[in-house]
């Protein structure tokens, strides 16, 4: 069987696609990279927010059109959309050959041989995958250290899609990272719904610092990148470890969502504005060249004009290197669904205003970047990213002369516009 994979959503979902694709290849099936060349299309969906649901349904329609035209034989759908809306998807798209849950991905060959809906409960624990391939560039990879979430933020659907927080045993994480390194991976991004809670379920206390220390002992390790850290769990000890080594990019993805205390409280975030500022100040003190990425939600129920103005002032003051702005989506099943909603026009305007604030921040940061020397990772001969940019989600750089793809080197910034920069490799 020749199969084609459409993987939607976050890097955590991509790791699932990598694992079940590798299982199929190990079973003698062939992966193709054009839909029309496939016998079967497998869509690994996201169902986190309304826009992700729409994207997933659009891809399902596209695959079913190919099936009706006789260009492919079967369509299979898995992932978070199936976990969340299995009955609705089965009714809306009866031509789908197989709907199967995230857990059933471990038996994907059996699943694809079966017509209908295949559901299995989420596994109680994570482990080193038996099969794994890369759907990213060969020099960079995502390593999922945990899945699920216990934080229960009022807007979030993840706990009832992905289940409770489950850490991968430390020895399995280290072994997986070692295998990646031996296979030429130069940049390993550590991912989970909350990386900084790592180990709390297995070991009775958070063990993220210990995990980092063990990973740093891997011979030939390139760079680690910390994704999805929660502010109240980003400790001084972690920051000092980052500052002490060049094996961890001085970068943290730290989703904040808001800064105004009334909004944070309604969101059921487990920290307040004072704690957030304290964490960011600590990081900037301990790691002076730290690069921070974050996300904010605007228009959350009850967000006042004063709350929003506080957020704009905060973004202007703390100058994040990369930032995502999301209008609040009302999602059934979440605590915020029953709260009094803010008008769509207001949410849209606030998103626009906050993006304008960030645009001015980037203009200031770019002026300071000119003629500075930064660590770069090459994604191709003439383009790549600075250490400030995570794969797929942040900015990019172009090179004044070709370099070897996958190499990590120093370069001087010679031009900067928005999130795109040009650099000159330093000999």
Question: Distance from CA of residue 312 to its chain's centroid?
Answer: 24
Say if residue 233 is in the same domain as residue 335: yes
Strand order across the beta sheet in which 2-7 lies: 30-31, 2-7, 40-45, 74-79, 98-100, 116-118
Collapse the DSSP code of 325 into the 3-class scheme (helix H, G, I; strand E, B; otherwise coil) and give the result. Answer: strand
Q: What is the pLDDT of residues 314-347, one digit of tens each?
A: 999 999 999 999 999 999 889 999 999 999 999 9
**Per the domain annotation, does 124 fall within a domain?**
no
Residue 12, domain CATH: 3.40.50.12160
For residue 268, the enclosing domain spans 140-368
The residue ranking higher by pLDDT, 148 or 131, is: 148
Q: What is the pLDDT of residues 360-377, one digit of tens each?
A: 999 999 999 999 999 999
Query: Among the three residues 118, 152, 181, which one is the final residue of a domain in this structure?
Result: 118
Say if residue 152 is in the same domain as residue 188: yes
Unique residue bearing structure tokens 């200031």? 364
**DSSP letter, residue 342:** P
Say if residue 410 is in the same domain as residue 341: no
| Cα distances (Å, whole numbers) of residue 272 to 159, 266, 325, 368, 370 | 22, 11, 19, 31, 35
Say if residue 338 is in the same domain as residue 362: yes
Q: What is the pLDDT of residues 69-126, one digit of tens each?
A: 999 999 999 999 999 998 999 999 999 999 999 999 999 999 999 898 888 888 888 8
8 Å CB contact between 331 and 154: no
Say if residue 242 is in the same domain as residue 343: yes
**Per the domain annotation, does 243 fall within a domain?**
yes
Predicted confidence at residue 49, as pLDDT, reads 83
Task: Report how far apart the first and last C-alpha atoms of the chain are (Å, whole number).
Answer: 48
Say if residue 333 is in the same domain as residue 249: yes
Element (H, E) at 182: helix 170-182
**Per the domain annotation, does 123 fall within a domain?**
no
Predicted confidence at residue 122, as pLDDT, reads 84
Say if residue 199 is in the same domain as residue 338: yes
Say if residue 363 is in the same domain as residue 303: yes
Predicted confidence at residue 272, as pLDDT, reads 97
Residue 311, domain CATH: 3.80.30.20
8 Å CB contact between 12 and 165: no
Total domains in the fold of the chain: 3
68 CB-side CA count, 13 A: 10
Predicted confidence at residue 299, as pLDDT, reads 98
296/279 Cα distance (integer angstroms): 17
Say if residue 263 is in the same domain as residue 411: no
**Per the domain annotation, does 135 fall within a domain?**
no
Two structure tokens written together for 251: 């970068």
**Per the domain annotation, does 161 fall within a domain?**
yes
Say if residue 356 is in the same domain as residue 383: no
The full length of the chain comes to 427
**Per the domain annotation, does 20 fall within a domain?**
yes
Predicted confidence at residue 265, as pLDDT, reads 98
Q: Looking at the predicted structure, is the pLDDT value of residue 128 above 90?
A: no
Say if residue 110 is in the same domain as residue 62: yes
**Per the domain annotation, does 265 fall within a domain?**
yes
Query: Among the three residues 60, 88, 118, which one is the final residue of a domain in this structure?
Result: 118
298/289 Cα distance (integer angstroms): 28
DSSP string, 111-140: HHTS-EEE--PPPSS----SS---SS-TTE
8 Å CB contact between 168 and 128: yes
Predicted confidence at residue 391, as pLDDT, reads 93
222/177 Cα distance (integer angstroms): 10
Binned at pLDDT 50, 70 and 90, residue 405 comes out as very high
Say if residue 245 is in the same domain as residue 354: yes
8 Å CB contact between 116 and 76: no
Predicted confidence at residue 48, as pLDDT, reads 83
251/64 Cα distance (integer angstroms): 41
Query: Among the three residues 321, 340, 368, which one is the final residue of a domain in this structure?
Result: 368
Tell me phi and psi for residue 331, to 5 degrees: -115, 125
Identify the burial level of 50 via C-beta atoms within 10 angstroms of its C-beta, where 0-12 means exposed, 13-18 middle and 19 or more buried. exposed
Predicted confidence at residue 185, as pLDDT, reads 96
Residue 379, domain CATH: 2.40.50.140
**Per the domain annotation, does 132 fall within a domain?**
no
Identify the burial level of 139 via C-beta atoms within 10 angstroms of its C-beta, where 0-12 means exposed, 13-18 middle and 19 or more buried. buried
The per-residue pLDDT of the chain, averaged, comes to: 95
Predicted confidence at residue 235, as pLDDT, reads 97
Binned at pLDDT 50, 70 and 90, residue 50 comes out as confident
- Count Cβ atoms below 10 Å from residue 401 Cβ, excluding itself: 8
């Amino acid at each position: 069987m020749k199969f084609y994979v459409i993987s939607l959503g976050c890097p955590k979902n991509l790791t699932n696609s990598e694992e079940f694709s590798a299982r199929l290849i190990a079973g003698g099936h062939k992966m193709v990279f054009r839909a029309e060349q496939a016998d079967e299309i497998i869509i690994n969906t996201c169902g986190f927010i309304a826009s992700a649901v729409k994207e997933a349904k659009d891809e399902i329609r596209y695959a079913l059109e190919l099936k009706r035209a006789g260009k492919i034989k079967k369509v299979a759908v898995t992932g978070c959309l199936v976990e969340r809306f299995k009955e609705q998807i089965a009714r809306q798209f009866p031509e789908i050959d197989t709907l199967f849950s995230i857990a059933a991905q471990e038996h994907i060959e059996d699943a694809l041989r079966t017509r209908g809906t295949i559901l299995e409960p989420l596994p109680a624990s994570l482990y080193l995958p038996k099969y794994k391939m890369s759907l990213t560039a060969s020099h960079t990879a995502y390593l999922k250290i945990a899945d699920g979430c216990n934080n229960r933020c009022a807007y979030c659907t993840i706990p009832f899609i992905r289940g409770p927080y489950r850490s991968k045993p430390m020895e399995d994480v280290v072994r997986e990272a070692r295998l990646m390194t031996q296979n030429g991976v130069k940049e390993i991004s550590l991912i989970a719904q909350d990386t900084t809670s790592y180990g709390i379920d297995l070991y009775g206390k958070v063990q993220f610092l210990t995990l980092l220390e063990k990973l740093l002992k891997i011979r030939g390790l390139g760079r680690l990148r910390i994704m999805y850290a929660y502010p109240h769990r980003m400790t001084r000890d972690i920051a000092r470890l980052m500052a002490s080594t060049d094996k961890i990019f001085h970068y943290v993805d730290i989703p904040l969502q808001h800064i105004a205390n009334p909004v944070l409280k309604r969101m059921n975030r487990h920290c307040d504005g004072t704690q957030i500022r304290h964490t960011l100040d600590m990081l900037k003190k301990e790691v002076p060249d730290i690069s921070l990425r974050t996300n904010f939600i605007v228009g959350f129920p009850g967000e006042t004009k004063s709350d929003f103005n506080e957020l704009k002032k905060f973004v202007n003051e703390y100058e994040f290197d990369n930032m995502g702005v999301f209008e609040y989506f009302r999602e059934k099943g979440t605590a915020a669904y029953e709260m009094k909603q803010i008008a769509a026009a207001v949410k849209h305007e606030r998103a626009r205003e906050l993006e304008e604030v960030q645009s001015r921040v980037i203009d200031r940061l770019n002026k300071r970047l000119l003629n500075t020397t930064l660590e770069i990772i090459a994604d191709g001969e003439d383009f790549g990213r600075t250490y400030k940019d995570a794969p797929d989600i942040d900015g990019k750089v172009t090179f004044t002369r070709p370099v070897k793809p996958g190499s990590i080197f120093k370069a001087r910034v010679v031009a900067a516009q928005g999130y795109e920069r040009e650099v000159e490799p330093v000999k």
